[in-house]
Structure formats: structure tokens, C-alpha cells
């Protein structure tokens, strides 16, 4: 199937459409968004109370990180699938459910877990270099190279989860790489610019709360955990919306039933190339 959107992906128009769709998504999927917040908060609290003597050990630290990533991916998969299906198909999921028997759920979970692991890879690689007593220069170069590789791969595969969520034909790694060819820098710019306001808010709140935010069990620490959960939930749901619109704009297998959001993407591209 030939992609009908051959123009360059518009950055600002896509960002505007993403925030509009994000705000539209929040009311009908409010129960699921609240569930996402509770999941993120619970995992953050759990992480706070894991003894440092365990996380400081390389083997245990890696195992704990992988278990947390798997838990987060598994519990958030139903919510992210619901967001993708709402944006792409206008389908409203009213309850939180874990359909283990559905292939789409299992594939989505596997890829979400892979994204979690990929996001941690640069820091893990840096730790490995330091364990082998690499020089500071070599460690820095290795970390930057790993970071660029991880970000580049995640950007190129960003439309794969929504494709899996709506069970689009041809929802495969090779198809995602083909559909995002030539658009990687623009996709990265869209995600990066979308994150900037939230990072500014995060830094402002940390400065406002003060050093007590790092003290486990303290009032500032608990406030920081709650705020962190809200921030992570906002970013997680916004990123899912952006990925959905990118799939609509770039994916050759985007469902034809997504006419309303297709119109958003098409209008944004037309405005950008005038």
C-alpha cells in the first residue's frame, strides 16, 4: 500500500494537533489515565524502598531494573493500547483489563518492554565501560554513541506500538523502519519539543520543594513522588498520542476508519507546505 503523505512531516502543526488530541483524550479515558498515575506512583514508591545495598550491586541492580521495567510495561500496556485505539479509531475503552489471550496485547507488551530496556541501555553501557576501567574520554564517547543509537532506534520504531495496538496489517519492525525513513530528525524534534515544557515544570517544582525532595519518607519526598507520578503520566499519555498521530501521518497500514484523525494529519501537512 502506498503512503499518501509524501510531504515532509510538519513539526509545529503535528505538535499542535498532538496537544489538542491529548486534551480530547483525557475526559473519555480519565479512569484509565488515573490508573496509569497509580501504577507509575506505586512503582516509584516501590523503587524508593528497595535497599541501596541491593541496587548498588551490579547483578541485583540490573535484575531489579529489568523486573521494574517488565512490571511497568505489563501494567501500562492496556492503557497505552486504549489511548492508541482512541486516537486512531475513536474507540473508547471504559475499563482496565489485561487480555492475556490476545496476540496484540502480548506483542505490544513485548515491544514496550523492549523500549524500556532500550531507554536504559546508554546508562547500562556506561556502567559496563566503567567496570572495565575505561578512561573518562572513552566512557563519554561510548555513552554518547549508545545514547544516539538508542534514541535513533526508538524514533524510527515510534509508530510500531500504535500499529500493533490497532492490529494494522503489516505491523512489523521492517515496515516501521520503512515508513519513518527520511523523517527521523523531524520525529525526534516533535518528541523533544513536546517534552521541553514538562521538563521546565519539573525543574521549577524541584527548586520550589528544595533538597528535602531527595529524602525518602519525608513530606517533601512524598510530595515529590506524587508530582513525579503526575508528570510521568502526563508525558506517557502525551507520547502515546504523538505516536498515534505519527502512525496516522506516516504509516502505510494506518486504518482507513481513522478518517477524523487522518484529516487532522492531512490538514497539518497541507498548512505546513503552503
pLDDT 10s digits, 155-201: 999 999 999 999 998 899 999 999 999 999 999 999 999 999 999 99
Q: Give the mean model confidence (pLDDT) for residues 12-23.
A: 95
pTM, to two decimals:
0.88
Q: Give the mean model confidence (pLDDT) for residues 257-271.
A: 47
- DSSP secondary structure code for residue 211 in this structure: G
Low-confidence winner among 15-24, 53-62, 65-74, 246-255 (lowest mean pLDDT): 53-62
- DSSP secondary structure code for residue 215 in this structure: S
Per-residue confidence (pLDDT) for residue 5, from 0 to 100: 42
At residue 168, what are phi and psi to the nearest 5 degrees?
-70, 140
Contact (Cβ atoms closer than 8 angstroms) between residue 234 and residue 152: no
Give the list of residues 6+ apart from residue 43 with CB closer than 8 angstroms, or none: 68, 71, 72
Give the list of residues 6+ apart from residue 123 with CB closer than 8 angstroms, or none: 143
Give the CA-trace dihedral at 187, 192, 194, 195, to 10 degrees. Answer: 150
In the three-class reduction of DSSP (H, G, I as helix; E, B as strand; rest coil), residue 122 is classed as helix
Question: Would you state the cell numbers that stand for residue 223, as one nine-digit string?
Answer: 510530595
255 vs 84, 197, 260, CA distance in Å?
12, 32, 11
What is d(CA 235, CA 100) in angstroms, rounded to the nearest whole number? 26
Give the list of residues 6+ apart from residue 144 with CB closer than 8 angstroms, or none: none
**Model pLDDT for residues 71-123, shown as the tens digit of each residue:** 999 999 999 999 999 999 999 999 999 999 999 999 999 999 999 999 999 99
Per-residue confidence (pLDDT) for residue 1, from 0 to 100: 35
Does position 3 have pLDDT exceeding 50, yes or no? no
Per-residue confidence (pLDDT) for residue 200, from 0 to 100: 95
Does position 270 have pLDDT exceeding 60, yes or no? no
Per-residue confidence (pLDDT) for residue 57, from 0 to 100: 66
What is d(CA 237, CA 14) in angstroms, rounded to the nearest whole number? 16
Per-residue confidence (pLDDT) for residue 52, from 0 to 100: 66
Per-residue confidence (pLDDT) for residue 2, from 0 to 100: 37
Does position 239 have pLDDT exceeding 90, yes or no? yes
What is d(CA 54, CA 47) in angstroms, rounded to the nearest whole number? 11
In the structure, what pLDDT confidence band is assigned to residue 266 with cuts at 50, 70 and 90?
Answer: very low
Give burial (CB, 10 Å; 0-12/13-18/19+) of 45.
middle
Domain positions in the chain are: 11-272
Amino acid at each position: 500500500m502506498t503512503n499518501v503523505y509524501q510531504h515532509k512531516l510538519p513539526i509545529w502543526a503535528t505538535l499542535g494537533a498532538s496537544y489538542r488530541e491529548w486534551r480530547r483524550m483525557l475526559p473519555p479515558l480519565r479512569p484509565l489515565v488515573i490508573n496509569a498515575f497509580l501504577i507509575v506512583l506505586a512503582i516509584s514508591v516501590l523503587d524508593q524502598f528497595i535497599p541501596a545495598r541491593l541496587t548498588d550491586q551490579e547483578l541485583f541492580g540490573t535484575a531489579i531494573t529489568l523486573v521494574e521495567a517488565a512490571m511497568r510495561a505489563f501494567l501500562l500496556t492496556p492503557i497505552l493500547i486504549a489511548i492508541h485505539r482512541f486516537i486512531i479509531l475513536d474507540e473508547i475503552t471504559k475499563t482496565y483489563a489485561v487480555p492475556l489471550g490476545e496476540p496484540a496485547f502480548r506483542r505490544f507488551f513485548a515491544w514496550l518492554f523492549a523500549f524500556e530496556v532500550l531507554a536504559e541501555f546508554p546508562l547500562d553501557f556506561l556502567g559496563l565501560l566503567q567496570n572495565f576501567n575505561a578512561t573518562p574520554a572513552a566512557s563519554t564517547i561510548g555513552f554518547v554513541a549508545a545514547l544516539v543509537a538508542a534514541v535513533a532506534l526508538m524514533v524510527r520504531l515510534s509508530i510500531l506500538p500504535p500499529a500493533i495496538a490497532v492490529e494494522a496489517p503489516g505491523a512489523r519492525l521492517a515496515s516501521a523502519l520503512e515508513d519513518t525513513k527520511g523523517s527521523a530528525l523531524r520525529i525526534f524534534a516533535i518528541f523533544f519539543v513536546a517534552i521541553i515544557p514538562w521538563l521546565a515544570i519539573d525543574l521549577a517544582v524541584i527548586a520550589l520543594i528544595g533538597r528535602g525532595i531527595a529524602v525518602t519518607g519525608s513530606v517533601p519526598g512524598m510530595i515529590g513522588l506524587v508530582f513525579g507520578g503526575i508528570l510521568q503520566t502526563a508525558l506517557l499519555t502525551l507520547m502515546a498520542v504523538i505516536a498515534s498521530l505519527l502512525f496516522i501521518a506516516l504509516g502505510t497500514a494506518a486504518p482507513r476508519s481513522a478518517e477524523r484523525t487522518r484529516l487532522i494529519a492531512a490538514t497539518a501537512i497541507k498548512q505546513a507546505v503552503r
